[in-house]
Amino acid sequence: MHRAPGPRAHGRTGTVERNRGHAALFDGGVEREVAVRDGEFWTTDGQAGDLTDQWQQMLSATHLPWAVQIPEPDDGRPFEAWIRRLWIDDLALVDCECGPCSGTRQRRQISGTDGEFVVVLITRGGRETVSQAAAEADLQPGDAVVWDSTVPARFRVWERLSKRSLLIPHAALDELSGRAWFSAGVMLDGRLPATRLLTTYLDTLSEALSGLSPAAVAAARNATLELFIGAVRAEGDVTTAGAARPALRAAMERWIDRHLLDDSLSPTAVAAAHGVSIRTVNRIFNATGQTVGEVVRVRRLARARKELAESDRPIAAIAHRWGFSDSSHFSRSFKAHYGSSPTDYRGAVRAAGGVPVHGRVATVQAAETVGDETRITVARG
């Protein structure tokens, strides 16, 4: 990623200044100062060329690839936008303000995305319409919608918009069987307690994140995933909840979590612990396109990933502890799920001073951002 080399980076929407690790943007459109602490920041420059090209590059760098359009302004005011991104381990928390525009994700943009993601879009001010599959959501402040990067989508911003997006890799959701509760285009009603809990937690986390220890960041990441799943479940708009018998499924998953170190963990053991047949166990997990073995493998990988980041134990010992037959099997499974080998992941964590690394979202950003060549101002606080 190209970052502006100097202490100040200028754009038409405001000025980023570095001051003891704190950067601030004054946005005249909303008359407020936005704090940017230890994050990445992008802003358009109305004097530097094609604004549509700039905005498309910014969105593709931070919200996955999009094709965008900017309408001619009714009031003669040029299009302005800024984006800030923070990392919660492998989750990206992205704040954005922009003028009216529209965008689509079709086959070309989907095929150009490295990895698969679920994105929670939270409207904080203004109005935006988001469509995916058969669902269309007209978002007002406080509302949220969940969209999937593997399905075509489109959006339209009707007026000056302030929004927050949480980008979650599918691999992270798999650790909690989160995709069992998700379907593309789910609307989260901002009036519901579960949605408010998620959005207010993200508000607090965005302010506190820069001061958290690596262990606290990992805990915040897991809490974010749990709150997201809770908000989606609260909507009741999931296709598999009835078929999967969610209460029994949740009880089985909790039991699996407590027994991940057991060599005998299997559908037979799960069935015996819950007084049901093996056929019932398999039917409950198959209802969401999973098997017990897949759920166990993903959760063991998540525990191994945590141990790689937090300990100096040999990789072979970690592989054996979490039920993998040998280091090669563990390495292949880890790379297929997280996009890097255990050795590379541990090295990246250590190079970052113990802070967990970003994973595949960073790969998407790095592939799309070309810095000065697209006249996008990029700075790091």
Say what the pLDDT of residue 270 is.
Answer: 93
Say what the pLDDT of residue 84 is.
Answer: 94
Residues spanned by the domain of 158: 8-238+362-380
Q: Is residue 297 part of a domain?
A: no
25 and 36 Cβ atoms separated by less than 8 Å: yes
Instruction: Say yes or no to pLDDT of 130 above 50.
Output: yes
Say what the pLDDT of residue 285 is.
Answer: 86
Closest CA to 186 of 240, 141, 242, 136: 136
Say what the pLDDT of residue 319 is.
Answer: 93
Strand order in the sheet with 40-43: 186-188, 144-148, 117-125, 161-169, 91-98, 81-88, 40-43, 377-380
149 Cβ neighbours under 8 A, 6+ residues apart: 64, 105, 110, 113, 115, 116, 117, 118, 119
The structure's pTM equals 0.71
Q: Is residue 252 part of a domain?
A: no
Average pLDDT value for residue range 13-33: 32
Domain harbouring 132, CATH code: 2.60.120.10
Determine which of 91-100, 231-240, 289-298 has the lowest per-residue pLDDT on average.
231-240
Instruction: Say yes or no to pLDDT of 378 above 50.
Output: no
pLDDT 10s digits, 160-193: 999 999 999 888 888 876 555 555 667 888 888 9
Q: Is residue 40 part of a domain?
A: yes
Q: Is residue 286 part of a domain?
A: no
Q: Is residue 369 part of a domain?
A: yes
| Tally of structural domains, the chain | 1
Q: Is residue 254 part of a domain?
A: no
168 Cβ neighbours under 8 A, 6+ residues apart: 91, 117, 118, 119, 120, 178, 225, 228
**What does the alpha-carbon distance between residue 250 and residue 77 come to, in Å, rounded to a whole number?**
52
129 and 100 Cβ atoms separated by less than 8 Å: no
Instruction: Say yes or no to pLDDT of 139 above 80.
Output: yes
Q: Is residue 196 part of a domain?
A: yes
Say what the pLDDT of residue 205 is.
Answer: 94
Q: Is residue 321 part of a domain?
A: no
In DSSP terms, which residues pair with 154 in a beta bridge? 104, 131
